[in-house]
Amino acid sequence: MPAFHLVDAFTAAYFSGNRAGVVLLEHGPIPAGFAQAVAAEVGASETAFLHPEDDGWRLRWWTPTTEVDLCGHATLAAAHVLTGEGAAPGAHRLRFHTRSGLLTATRDDDDRLWLELPSWPVADHRAPDRLPALLGGVSGRYLGRTTVAQANDVVEVADVAALDAVDPDLPAVAALGSGGLIVTSPGERTDAAMRYFAPALGVDEDPVTGSAACTVGPLWASRLGRSELVIEQRSARGGQLWTRVAADGVEVGGHAVTTIRGELLAAPT
């Protein structure tokens, strides 16, 4: 039966960060109906499914309601399981074949995992109507929408107090026509802060979002004039993401801990 792990990603402490299910299959292909049913049963914001392929691993991600193009925290969780749970012990560099192309993961001397992810910059887009109402009465500045299939709208607010006060109109967020809404601000204890809402993908608020760092990292790196920065995600569970921004992508780093391990009693069909 497939091995199953529940991992808290972008945290070094149990029961914080972002939960991800990780399902290890002996071979592919990954049955989409089975994966969707498991992800709905697990109930984490994403569940990763992977199996050996060529010189690496085939990796796909599902929310409780749909498959997505990229998930940073579930990739971090998958790398944590492979390097720490015996499937790829001692591996210095993991290669993942995904719908977003080839992704890699490495572990540094501080036991932090680093993912090489694409950059998702913001482009001009028509601002939503009644932006303060969308944010629950908080004033913000609409920055635009990312130019990828799994697009996000991006809003900046004044500070972390305003960020914490955001109480979005989730049906209105789901109706924006994008995958989700990133709200970001200057950091208080870190260089930048953010929250992420994706009700259209079945995730009202994501606790920590590696793919959002593909947008927030380059945005604040440009603002601050340096390539390395730390981002805090100010959800109820909270988490930290380290980023290194380059011309051709973003490295996103973080820790992870396994909270549950076992096996699925339902086999893929």
Q: Which of 46, 116, 156, 251 is catalytic?
A: 46
Distance of alpha carbon 193 from alpha carbon 241, whole angstroms: 10
- Find the helix packing angle between 210-224 and 72-84, rounded to 10°: 110
Query: Are the beta carbons of 196 and 168 closer than 8 angstroms?
Result: no
Task: Enter the DSSP assignment of 176.
Answer: T
- Beta bridge mates, 5: 22, 261
Q: How far apart are CA 28 and CA 18, in angstroms?
A: 26
State the Cα–Cα distance between residues 233 and 206, nearest whole angstrom. 9
Told to judge if 46 belongs to the known catalytic residues of this protein, a careful annotator would answer yes
Q: What are phi and psi of 193, to 5 degrees?
A: -140, 160
Residues annotated as part of the active site: 46
